[in-house]
């Protein structure tokens, strides 16, 4: 077998392969055997057509099959011989001519990884937003936890809807005299001051008691988010089916004990602050990583293989669909067509792929590697996050062939960390909340 490797462009090569006549003869023999098993002809049982008739009536089928066998059986060795590393399956660009006792020549074309000439990845200037965890943020989070632990108790018979109460109501209404989607509900939960209803609607219901029915009227705000209702006059028939009193726990050590492994409220606050600080640090790290990737991609100009970018785009689309499914939604409900997704996110996919190639080049230049301890630590973190035993997480990654992807992600993370440690970090003030 003779081979010749040629460069088409920076990310594409072609290889021409010459196969000797004896391989052609051998492949044609196997091809006729395969064709004979499936060929059909009147007067003969399947698989029993004589060879001479096969050569008359199924010659083209056998030759095509022989070519297929020859290419499939030789292109991998041909690529190895030339030390070529395609990033996708090669395409056949020319074959032949085919003769049963003569050599066969074919040419394949394939994409390869680009050669990245690294530029100025030391000393990047990166901007980071200054974030801090104030005591007031901790207090707000604690109040949110306090509200989530509220107990609902039956209200007294003479109780009226107001602050500290929730109501289960039936309502049916119109906007400017016409029914509309969402204008009717049964057992709708109204948490006073919670924002489940318009303030104008809620105000008209204040003072109502269990079993009471009332005609409620109000005007929708002119800037209401639902343009079909904005500025219209609402009229509703409302019935209070049930009232509940909200028993909000006090912020004290007893509440802390009810929350789990805490003895005092101070311990709860300390843990909340610790978690918020960790979240802020994670946001800062992600922000710097994103900025570093943006800067690296800007500095390096090269083409990326289309097949790799397409696969990245497909992975992005699949991930988007999975997110929607987790929310109980379908892609069709987004109002976006697949073509629109491709148009919008194709540049993003190409940028990501370019970033991967740049990080790979930096990792090689700086001899950054993924150690077994790195993989072990990442798996431990994953096990903690999903609340599963480490061995079960390991088994999942091994069974589903995910360790390669995990190693790839760790290498990218370590390389980005390296770039960030060599960068000049400028801090800007966070916007007031």
Instruction: Give per-residue burial for 142-164: e unless 16+ CB within 10 Å, then b.
Output: beeeeeeebeeeebeeebbbeee
| Residue-level pLDDT at 22 | 96
How are beta strands 165-175 and 104-111 bridged, if at all? unpaired
Phi and psi (nearest 5°) for 296?
Answer: -65, -45
Distance CA 369, CA 362 (A): 11
* Residue range 343-388, pLDDT digits in tens: 999 999 999 999 999 999 999 999 999 999 999 999 999 999 899 9
Domain boundaries, the chain: 2-111, 151-247, 257-429
- Residue in the structure block whose two tokens are 């509309």: 180
The length of the chain in residues reads: 433
| Residue-level pLDDT at 432 | 60
Closest CA to 362 of 283, 293, 281: 293
Q: Which of 34-43, 128-137, 293-302 has the highest mean pLDDT?
A: 293-302
Please give the model's pTM, rounded to 2 decimal places: 0.74
Closest CA to 74 of 171, 132, 164, 1: 1
Asked whether the bond before 102 is cis by omega within 30 degrees of 0, the reply is no
Express as a percent the part of the chain with pLDDT over 90.
Answer: 85
Q: Which CATH number fits domain 151-247: 3.30.70.1450, 3.10.50.40, 3.10.129.10, 3.40.50.11540?
A: 3.10.50.40
- Residue in the structure block whose two tokens are 């929350």: 259
| Residue-level pLDDT at 247 | 92
Average pLDDT over residues 277-301: 93
Express as a percent the part of the chain with pLDDT over 70.
Answer: 99
Distance CA 271, CA 180 (A): 47
In CATH terms, the fold of domain 257-429 is Trigger factor, domain 2 (1.10.3120)
In CATH terms, the fold of domain 2-111 is Alpha-Beta Plaits (3.30.70)
Helical residues (DSSP H) of 250-371, grouped into ranges: 253-258, 265-299, 306-326, 338-365
Average pLDDT over residues 107-131: 94
Select the more confidently predicted residue: 396 or 432.
396
Q: Which helix (H) or strand (E) holds 93?
A: strand 91-95
* Band of residue 335 on the pLDDT scale cut at 50, 70, 90: confident
How are beta strands 125-130 and 424-429 bridged, if at all? parallel
* Residue range 161-203, pLDDT digits in tens: 999 999 999 999 999 999 999 899 999 999 988 888 899 999 9
* Residue range 74-115, pLDDT digits in tens: 999 999 999 999 999 999 999 989 998 899 999 999 999 999
pLDDT of 287 over the 80 cut = yes
């Amino acid at each position: 077998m003779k081979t010749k490797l040629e460069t088409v462009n920076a990310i594409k090569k072609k290889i021409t392969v010459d196969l000797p006549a004896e391989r052609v003869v051998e492949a044609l023999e196997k091809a006729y055997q395969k064709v004979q098993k499936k060929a059909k002809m009147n007067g003969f049982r399947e698989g029993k057509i004589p060879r001479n008739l096969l050569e008359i009536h199924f010659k083209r089928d056998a030759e095509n099959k022989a070519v297929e066998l020859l290419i499939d059986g030789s292109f991998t060795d041909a690529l190895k011989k030339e030390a070529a590393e395609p990033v996708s399956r090669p395409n056949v660009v020319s074959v032949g001519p085919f003769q049963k006792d003569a050599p066969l020549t074919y040419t394949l074309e394939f994409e390869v990884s680009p050669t990245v000439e690294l530029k100025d990845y030391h000393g990047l200037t990166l901007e980071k937003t200054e974030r801090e965890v104030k005591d007031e943020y901790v207090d707000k989070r604690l109040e949110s936890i306090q509200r989530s632990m509220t107990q609902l108790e039956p209200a007294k018979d003479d109780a009226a809807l107001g602050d500290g109460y929730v109501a289960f109501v039936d309502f049916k209404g119109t906007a400017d005299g016409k029914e509309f989607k969402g204008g009717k509900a049964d057992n709708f939960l109204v948490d006073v001051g919670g924002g489940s209803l318009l303030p104008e609607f809620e105000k008209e219901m204040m003072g109502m008691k269990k079993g009471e029915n009332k005609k409620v009227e109000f005007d929708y705000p002119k800037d209401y988010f639902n343009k079909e209702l904005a500025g219209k006059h609402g009229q509703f028939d409302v019935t209070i089916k049930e009232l509940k009193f909200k028993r909000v726990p006090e912020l004290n050590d007893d509440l802390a004990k009810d929350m789990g492994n805490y003895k005092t409220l101070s311990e709860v606050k300390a843990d909340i602050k610790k978690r918020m600080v960790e979240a802020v640090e994670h946001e800062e790290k992600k922000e710097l990583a994103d900025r570093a990737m943006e800067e690296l991609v800007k500095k390096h100009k090269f083409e990326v293989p289309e097949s790799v970018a397409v696969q990245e785009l497909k992975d992005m689309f699949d991930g988007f669909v999975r997110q929607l499914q987790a929310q109980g939604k379908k892609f069709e409900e987004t109002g976006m067509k697949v073509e629109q997704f491709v148009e919008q996110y194709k540049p993003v996919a190409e940028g990501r792929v370019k970033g991967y190639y740049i990080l790979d080049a930096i990792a090689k230049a700086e001899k950054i590697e993924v150690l077994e301890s790195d993989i072990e630590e990442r798996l431990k973190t994953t096990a903690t996050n999903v609340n599963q035993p480490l061995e079960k997480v390991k088994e999942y990654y091994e069974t589903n062939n995910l360790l390669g992807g995990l190693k790839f992600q760790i290498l990218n993370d370590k390389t980005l960390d390296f770039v960030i440690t060599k960068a000049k970090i400028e801090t800007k003030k966070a916007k007031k909340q």
